Amino acid sequence: MLGVCRQYLKNNDLAEEVMLSGFFKMFTHLKDFKNEGSFEGWIRRIMVNESISQLRKDKKLHFISETEIENTTEHSTHIETELEEADIQKMIDSLPDGYKTVFVLYAVEGYKHSEIGELLKISENTSKTQLFKARKMLQNMVKQQNNLSYGTL
């Protein structure tokens, strides 16, 4: 569960605190688990919610309002690369918190834009825009990394 919290929070110590808070909440509300769905999924959702609450509390969750971008989920570019997992995590961590949160919720956790909008209290279109911007930033970072790796700039 530390990995789940770490996906949203850049600071390892803070991610550990949020994880512990999430486990406290889980044990406190254990009687509320109704065996509908997996237990791991229930705990994971608690950790995601705790992480997002921490971002809100720290006032790090800002969304840039943009004009609508049509069909943003269908515009993806495949880039071959030999990045390590740690390099990818650093790139994701360098995204603005709003972009990062939407990206992780969509690409890693599998949430739909309507669910992300409801969870973060933003519109579905804002979620799509944030994801589009996050993907663009990550693509540029990967291209830059590839150029450095192959000695071209």
Specify the pLDDT at position 60.
61
> What proportion of the chain, given as a percentage, has pLDDT over 70?
80
If asked whether residues 54 and 73 sit together in one domain, one would say no
Residue given tokens 């969304």 in the structure block: 63
pLDDT digits (tens, 9 = 90+) for 102-127: 999 998 888 999 999 998 989 999 99
**Tell me, what's the pLDDT at 84?**
75
56 and 78 share one domain: no
Higher pLDDT, 103 or 59: 103
Domain count, the chain: 2
State the DSSP string of 9-48: -S-HHHHHHHHHHHHHHHHHTGGG--SSS-HHHHHHHHHH
Q: Are residues 150 and 75 in the same domain?
A: yes
- Based on the domain organization, do 30 and 72 belong to the same domain? no
3-state secondary structure of 5: helix
29: containing domain: 1-60
One domain for residues 100 and 29: no
